[in-house]
């Protein structure tokens, strides 16, 4: 999939808006409730790093259309299996918390 800046922006817009202050600072939440930061796209060294995930994997007939894409904290994206979302990172207040030791590390 060729990811353009336009696609990144469109997928970011699908992240959960929390409030104007967080949004102004580039923070939103993914579907699991984990904080992600706009400027940390693709950064697996950041607790706020995020990636573009295919809701229905391409291997299972999913497309690269924005309607099939969502922003996910990179750790939540890394542990996906069988097309199912597993939320290992959520949030507590303004901090991300990991619910179990991920097997990908």
Q: Which residues, at least 6 apart from 9, have a Cβ–Cβ distance to it below 8 Å? A: none
Q: Residue 2's Cα: distance from chain center in Å?
A: 18
Residue scoring higher pLDDT (90 or 102)? 90
What secondary structure letter does DSSP report for 3?
A: -
> Alpha-carbon distance 21 to 27, whole Å?
9
> Alpha-carbon distance 1 to 65, whole Å?
10
How many degrees, rounded to 5, is the angle at CA 77 between CA 89 and CA 10? 105
Q: For the chain, what are the domain ranges?
A: 5-98
**What is the tens place of the pLDDT at every residue in 39-88?**
999 999 999 999 999 999 988 999 999 999 999 999 999 998 767 898 99
For tokens 């990144």, the residue is: 8
Q: What is the pTM of this model?
A: 0.91
Which two three-digit tokens encode residue 19?
A: 């409030």
């Amino acid at each position: 999939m060729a990811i353009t800046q336009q696609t990144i922006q469109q997928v970011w817009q699908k992240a959960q808006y929390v409030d104007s202050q967080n949004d102004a600072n580039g923070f939103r939440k993914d579907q699991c409730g984990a904080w992600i930061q706009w400027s940390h796209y693709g950064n697996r060294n950041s607790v706020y790093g995020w990636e573009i995930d295919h809701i229905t994997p391409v291997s299972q007939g999913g497309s690269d259309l924005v309607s099939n894409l969502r922003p996910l904290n990179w750790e939540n994206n890394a542990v996906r299996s069988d097309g199912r979302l597993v939320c290992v990172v959520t949030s507590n207040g303004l901090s991300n918390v990991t619910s179990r030791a991920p097997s990908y590390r």
